[in-house]
């Protein structure tokens, strides 16, 4: 009986110690997670590293070689509000998510649409913008084409950027067409301009800009975007403090009207055209 009593006392004492230590242990884990979060590392480093790729008018090089565009404005404002400098890390679109996962930069701010496949690899913030896919076509090769079904033929060649959200869109709406992919967006458009492909599918409003740039060669068979896609920041999985900050930041600048103002400037005016090459 005495042995049993001593055993129960020992078990109770152990349980009491565990209960008292648990909050301290949990606190240590929480403090470690906070210290290791991307947002904390950025603050300590004094630099926000942003992964991006060039898309007109999201991100472009001006005549002096400096990056300008809607995403560039967004990333600069984000860094400014964090009280740190911004460092842009230009990356090929097809490899931008792997580069984020290996730590080459802290966040993707590059017009990335939220997709289930991508969400399996990264966490997305709340949307800070919406875009859609649009199409621009060669006047002679696609003469008389007015619907997506007109392009959905085996003899039709469609170009798109490798790794972009345009790829699944072409496969969904024009599965019979031949799809040719390019690492660089400008190469995909050039293929159409040179008459080697019938059309290019890309994020609006770039296809419309291309038609305006080459009015003798290109035209817009379908006005505006034919899809709608939420655009968000992408961060590494498990970093909830960083995601929380980005979500709140987007809410604040959106309520200010700042995002709408910058979107209007880059997507609905031509005031910036003289800045770029």
Top-confidence residue, 38 or 13: 38
pTM of the model as a whole: 0.77
Angle between helices 185-193 and 206-213 (to 10 degrees): 40
pLDDT at 207 over 60: yes
- The average pLDDT across 83-89 equals 98
- The average pLDDT across 206-227 equals 92
pLDDT tens-place string over residues 103-137: 999 999 999 999 999 999 999 999 999 989 999 99
Q: CA–CA separation, 218 vs 176, rounded Å?
A: 22
Instruction: Give yes or no for a contact between 156 and 194, defined as CB atoms under 8 angstroms apart.
Output: no
Contacts of 252 (CB under 8 A, 6+ apart): none
- The average pLDDT across 55-65 equals 91
Report all structural domains of the chain as residue ranges with CATH numbers, in order of start: 39-130+229-275 (3.40.190.10), 133-219 (3.40.190.10)
> What is the 3-state secondary structure of 74-98?
HHHHHHHHHCCEEEEEECCHHHHHH
Look at the chain and count its residues: 277
pLDDT value, residue 38: 96
pLDDT value, residue 27: 45
pLDDT value, residue 31: 43
């Amino acid at each position: 009986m005495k042995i049993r009593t001593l055993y129960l006392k020992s078990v109770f004492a152990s349980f009491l110690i565990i209960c008292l230590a648990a909050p301290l242990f949990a606190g240590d884990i929480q403090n470690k997670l906070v210290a290791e979060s991307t947002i904390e590392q950025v603050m300590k480093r004094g630099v926000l590293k942003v992964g991006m790729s060039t898309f007109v008018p999201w991100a472009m090089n001006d005549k002096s070689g400096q990056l300008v565009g809607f995403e560039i404005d967004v990333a600069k404002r984000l860094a400014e509000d964090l009280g740190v400098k911004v460092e842009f890390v230009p990356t090929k679109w097809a490899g931008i998510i792997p580069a984020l996962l290996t730590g080459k930069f802290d966040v993707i701010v590059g017009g990335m649409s939220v997709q289930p496949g991508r969400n399996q690899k990264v966490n997305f913030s709340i949307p800070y913008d919406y875009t859609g896919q649009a199409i621009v076509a060669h006047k002679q090769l696609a003469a008389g084409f007015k619907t997506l079904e007109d392009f959905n033929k085996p003899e039709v060649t469609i170009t798109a950027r490798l790794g972009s959200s345009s790829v699944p869109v072409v496969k969904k709406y024009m599965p019979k067409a031949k799809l040719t992919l390019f690492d660089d967006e400008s190469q995909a458009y050039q293929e159409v301009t040179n008459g080697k492909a019938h059309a290019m599918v890309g994020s609006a409003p770039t296809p419309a800009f291309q038609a305006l740039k080459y009015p003798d060669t290109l035209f817009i068979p379908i006005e505006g975007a034919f899809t709608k896609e939420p655009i968000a920041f992408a961060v590494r999985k498990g970093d909830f403090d960083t995601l929380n900050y980005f979500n709140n930041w987007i809410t604040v600048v959106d309520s200010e009207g700042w995002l709408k103002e910058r979107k209007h400037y880059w997507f609905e005016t031509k005031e910036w055209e003289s800045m770029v090459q």
